[in-house]
Each structure stands twice: as C-alpha cells, then as structure tokens.
Amino acid sequence: VVRIGRDVTPLRGYEEAVKESPTGTCMIEEWIEGPQISTESVLTADGISTPGLSSRNYDRLEEFYPYVIEDGGDLPADITKEQRAEIDGVITAAANALSITSGVIKGDIVMSKDGPLVIEIAPRLSGGFFCTHTGPLSSGVSIVKAAIDFALGFDVDYKEYAPNFDKFVSQRFLFPKPGIVKEVKIDEKLKDDARIESINISVKPGDEIKEIKSHPCRAGSVIATGKSREDATEAALEALKGIKVIVEEA
C-alpha cells in the first residue's frame, strides 16, 4: 500500500502498486483518519459476537512512508462498549451486503469521525497470529473452533463466543536492516520472562531482507502479555531488543 502525498505522485503510487500486483491491477482508496481496529467475529442468523478486537499499531507510519506498514497491535482494542456495539452493527451490515448470513468474519475497521467504516471484510480467519494467539490470549475464546464447526455443518451459538475476559496482549514486529542474513541470535533470558508468549522468527541465514515496503518484509514478531496495556507493550518492545538479526549488505 502506497500513500499519495508530499513527494509521492499518483503516478508513482500506481506504478509501484501495479508492479507488486499479481493481477496487474490496483485500487485507489481514500485515506480516512482515525484509529484502525482489526476484528474477528462469529456471525449466525441469531446474532453476532466479536471476541477479537485489536488496536492496530501504526506508530512507525512516518518512518516507513510512503508505505503503509502495521507494527502489530494491542488487545483488547482501546474502544468503548458503545463503539464495540457500533462495530458489530457495521460488520453485520457488510456481511449482509455480501449475502453472508453465517460464518467467521474478519474485518479491518477505521474509527472515523463519522463512526466505524469498513476497510476490509472477508469470510475467513485472520492471519498474523491473531486468530491463533493474540485473540484467544486476550478474550479466552478460540474463534478457530467456530470456523471448524461451521465447516463441519454443526450448529454454532454465537453467544458462546462472547469474550470471557479482557487480558492485555501486545504484538510487535521485527524490522532488521536490509541485507543478507548471516545469523539470528535470541537472548536466552527471554525464555524466563513469563510475559513473553511467543517469539516468531521468519528469516534464516542466507535469506535476503529487503527494504520495508510491505508486510512480508517483516522478519518476525513477539507476542507479550501484561498487567496493563503499557506493561504488555513494554514487554514486547523489550523482547525485540533481545533478538539480533545480523546482516551484511546484499
């Protein structure tokens, strides 16, 4: 995703997007200001539950400009109970517009000045460890089970997927310098930190790390929990300091 503005012309944005597009086409979308929320919902004819709500982290948006790079997220999403209800309404309306009456729904929502708006919605589970790690850690609910039950034709009660609790969880990504990976070092002390739930490294010696232009360029992530939102985020950031990806110029 390329943002248009400053020194980035529409032509440059088009050329870069088309170059990476498997279909040779691209979309032009309006950039709407506001916090972005990743969602995971269970939808049935009787109602909707959204146990997965994550505040997407774009603290490094300017650093990676003009490319839109998400650096993890924080759960539960920093929104009110009323905003949660509004999101449920928007997801239900979007699903109905796509003739989806039941199933798991993943969404990306922006909380605009006019309320929640859909960036993306899809009838599938999320990637990026949301459905398997951060979501269940925060809510106590496994939406993967719902997806399996739907696929097998079992009856699904959406009420069973209401969040059981709100535990603070933070995910942050690893952004090494571009180059050829020579070695990956992980501080052994991280194994003793009870707040660290998961360390995922997606590069190995010999791999090439390219300039950060899209999410596949990220080299791994850390998932941490904490007594507060700040504690979880601090734990994730501290863990990243204990991971060294040594590279040499390509």
Q: Are residues 68 and 189 part of one domain?
A: no
What pLDDT is recorded for position 249?
Answer: 86
Quick one: tokens of 228? 């507060």
Q: Which domain holds residue 229?
A: 167-250
Tallying the residues shown for the chain, one arrives at 250
- Distance between CA 131 and CA 150 in Å, rounded? 15
> For residue 167, what pLDDT band results from cuts at 50, 70 and 90?
very high
Residue % of the chain over a pLDDT of 70: 100
For the chain, the domain total comes to: 3
> For residue 126, what pLDDT band results from cuts at 50, 70 and 90?
very high
Among 164, 193, 228, where does a domain finish?
Answer: 164
> For residue 68, what pLDDT band results from cuts at 50, 70 and 90?
very high
Q: Are residues 109 and 56 part of one domain?
A: yes
The CATH number assigned to the domain holding 132 equals: 3.30.470.20
Q: Are residues 51 and 7 part of one domain?
A: no
Q: Are residues 22 and 98 part of one domain?
A: no
Model confidence, pTM: 0.93
Q: Are residues 40 and 135 part of one domain?
A: yes
Q: Is-cis flag, bond preceding 76, omega within 30?
A: yes
Q: Are residues 21 and 133 part of one domain?
A: no
- CA-wise closest residue to 7 among 53, 89, 65: 65
Q: Are residues 96 and 8 part of one domain?
A: no
- Per-residue model confidence as pLDDT tens digits over 193-248: 999 999 999 999 999 999 999 998 999 999 999 999 999 999 999 999 999 999 99
Among 111, 144, 164, where does a domain finish?
Answer: 164
Q: Are 156 and 168 in contact (CB under 8 A)?
A: no
Q: Are residues 115 and 40 part of one domain?
A: yes
Burial (Cβ within 10 Å: 0-12, 13-18, ≥19) of residue 216: exposed
